[in-house]
Amino acid sequence: LCSQILFDQAQRSIKSQLQTFVKEDLRRFKETKKQFDKVSEEKEAALSRNAQAPRNKQHEVEEAASILTATRKCFRHIVLDYVLQVAATAGANGQRWGRGSLLLLCRHWCVFWSTYQACALLCSQDYSNDDTKLEYNVDADSGIVMEGYLFKRASNAFKTWNRRWFSIQNNQLVYQKKFKDNPTVVVEDLRLCTVKHCEDIERRFCFEVVSPTKSCMMQADSEKLRQAWIRAVQNSIATAFRDRSDDSEVTSVHSMSLPLEMNERKFKGALQKVMAIAGNSTCCDCDQLEPKWASINLGITLCIQCSGIHRSLGVHFSKVRSLTLDTWEPELLKLMCELGNGVINQIYEARREELGARKPQPGDPRQEVEAYIRAKYVDRRFIRRPSDEELKLKVVTLCKQGKRLSFSSEPQPPRAPPPTPKARPASGTSGGCCLTEHQPASGSKEQVMFSEPKHYCPGLQLYWAAFTRSLPNMAEALAHGAQVNWINTEEEKRTPLIMAGSLVTCEFLLQNSASVNQQDSQGRGPLHHATILGHTGQVCLFLKRGANQNASDIEDKTPLSIAVEAVNADIVTLLRLAKMNEEMRESEGPYNATGDETYQDIFQDFTQMASEDPDKLNRF
């Protein structure tokens, strides 16, 4: 009878608990799940709105951030309720099956007490769902260095942004649309890629992983997450290089990469020369030690904080590049060696002490550093403006330097004369005249007299400084307000780029937005003049910068026809290769945006030769 009573009590207990589970627990669970699904969608919408907020509309950024904060708080509370409800439902289910067996009736209260303790333990745990952890582990047992959600810009025509689950694992960057999907490989070998910040697009917190074949633009939810992902990629790259095995396959690959490593060592040696320039061992604007960034149009080195501020000024003021992550062309390295922090600070900080302005120091607030940099480069508050007499003396001095430079050149062997060669200015005489020489193909020299300029201006200083290859004077002229495309109306409307006397001066002008196709009164642009004078290095540089080789002068001559008449094989080869590459790109459309590899290799060889031994390429 007792057993029957116990059996009846157990049956009634099971029945009542099942009814309670269905009518109450399961109903509450379903309601909580609906709330969880709803708030999850709201959080996704808030994240997307926060990511899409443009940096130049502060009120939209603040509104999106406040909505995201409120939504996150609501999401955390709902998640906690949801987890507690799941725990309670699971506990009730466990009790139902535990009391369903007659063998466990005697331990009914023990099971209940154990279940209660388990629920209490779950309740004591933290389910606040704080921001994603920023730690990464390159030696993780699972092989996953870091993982988390990022927005990815699609490669289609619409450039849409989609939220994907990214992870760094097995020396690869992969992502998944859903957890059940197979991962899509973005970068197959991290050793072949680099990662960099992206400040020139509208969205915030963006960074880009660039490989030899493609690039992937991604966006984090915050600046901390962006920095964490960038550090994770950089450390993964370093670890991948350290952990290369010594098997035969890797040894073979390593032997093939020896020329690349030699170039890398050469590149590091060139960077050491850049850092050895006066003042370059510290940041130009705040004296921070070991700067890793540079402004290539100013010719200065910067710390990471100042480089970010320079980016915010815009590329018309400063073009920022990494000293360690980006690729540096030989002419850019020469440009950096010609200028440097010492030269630029003598120009842009000439009156700083006189005005009592304090130069920022490492550790100063970003707002103070930004205010100083804007005053220095945008407002040009600390520049010493020259008087009319000082400017005139400067121009005359440059003219004299040009005269000495011209007369120091030796005659070259006779060549077929180019059509209507230009006469370039070279000096200023005491009588106020400028005298230059031109050396025709026959090897003789002729002198042409130019009258004294009617007006002296910074543009004229830039004009003569470009001819005399004086980058400090060119930088000073630009700082004093010279227009980089200034036209000398007294000299056939030539520009400083047309007058540029070397490859590095051309590069400096182009980095400061000089027009590579601006013509003089004879209808000749820089490419025409470089072809006439046989400056192969400049022809190569102008073609790389988009010079129009089909343009004709007033005599209906193109650079190619001029080079053919002058029998200049190097320039003819470059021009024909460039034309062929342009035709191939037009025929293949967007599938061949970079052009033929042979074309790229030949131009790279010419660029290297023009930088290391320019006399080999000059034919006149």
The pLDDT of 271-294, averaged and rounded, is: 88
Highest-scoring range by mean pLDDT, 274-278, 495-499, 533-537: 495-499
- At residue 421, the pLDDT reads 36
Using pLDDT thresholds of 50, 70 and 90, give the confidence band for residue 87: confident
Is 35's pLDDT higher than 90? no
Name the least confident of 70-74, 85-89, 165-169, 361-365: 85-89
Query: Could you read off the pLDDT of 352-363 as tens digits, one per residue?
Result: 999 999 999 998
Percentage of residues of the chain with pLDDT beyond 90: 29
The pLDDT of 520-547, averaged and rounded, is: 91
537 CB-near residues (< 8 Å, 6+ apart): 503, 606, 607, 609, 610, 611, 614, 617, 618
Which residue has better confidence, 576 or 20? 576
Which residue has better confidence, 575 or 138? 575
Is 247's pLDDT higher than 70? no
Query: Could you read off the pLDDT of 321-335 as tens digits, one per residue?
Result: 888 877 788 888 889
- At residue 465, the pLDDT reads 92
- At residue 235, the pLDDT reads 86
- At residue 3, the pLDDT reads 43
The pLDDT of 34-43, averaged and rounded, is: 89
- At residue 341, the pLDDT reads 93
Cα 49 to Cα 69: distance, rounded to the nearest angstrom:
12
Cα 89 to Cα 24: distance, rounded to the nearest angstrom:
10
Cα 361 to Cα 286: distance, rounded to the nearest angstrom:
5
Structure tokens at 23: 């009518």
Quote the mean pLDDT of the chain: 77
- Nearest Cα neighbor of 529 from 456, 424, 402, 410 is 424
Using pLDDT thresholds of 50, 70 and 90, give the confidence band for residue 482: very high
The pLDDT of 605-615, averaged and rounded, is: 66
- At residue 114, the pLDDT reads 62
E strands, 136-261, are 144-153, 161-169, 172-176, 184-187, 194-198, 206-210, 215-219
Name the least confident of 122-136, 183-197, 367-381: 122-136
Residue 325's identity, in one-letter code, is L
Structure tokens at 47: 């994240």
Using pLDDT thresholds of 50, 70 and 90, give the confidence band for residue 406: low
Strands 215-219 and 144-153: antiparallel
- At residue 323, the pLDDT reads 86
Whether 263-378 and 388-616 share one fold: the answer is no
The pLDDT of 242-254, averaged and rounded, is: 47
- Asked if residue 348 lies in contact with residue 479, where contact means CB atoms within 8 angstroms, the answer is yes
Query: Could you read off the pLDDT of 429-472 as tens digits, one per residue?
Result: 333 444 444 443 333 333 434 446 667 889 999 999 999 899 99
The CATH number given to 388-616 is 1.25.40.20
- At residue 382, the pLDDT reads 93
- At residue 599, the pLDDT reads 64
Using pLDDT thresholds of 50, 70 and 90, give the confidence band for residue 184: confident
Residue 56, classed as helix, strand or coil, is coil
Using pLDDT thresholds of 50, 70 and 90, give the confidence band for residue 104: very low
- Asked if residue 491 lies in contact with residue 521, where contact means CB atoms within 8 angstroms, the answer is no
Strands 320-322 and 215-219: unpaired
Name the least confident of 176-190, 286-300, 550-564: 176-190
Using pLDDT thresholds of 50, 70 and 90, give the confidence band for residue 169: confident
User: Phi then psi for 318, rounded to 5 degrees?
Assistant: -155, 135
- At residue 252, the pLDDT reads 42
- At residue 144, the pLDDT reads 79
Fold of 144-240: PH-domain like (2.30.29)
CATH superfamily name and code, 2-124: Arfaptin homology (AH) domain/BAR domain (1.20.1270.60)
Using pLDDT thresholds of 50, 70 and 90, give the confidence band for residue 33: confident
Going from N- to C-terminal start, the domains of the chain cover 2-124, 144-240, 263-378, 388-616
Structure tokens at 479: 């700082």
Cα 9 to Cα 16: distance, rounded to the nearest angstrom:
10
Query: Taking the CB of residue 340, how many other CB atoms lie within 10 A of it?
Result: 22
- At residue 620, the pLDDT reads 46
Percentage of residues of the chain with pLDDT beyond 70: 71
CATH superfamily name and code, 263-378: Arf GTPase activating protein (1.10.220.150)
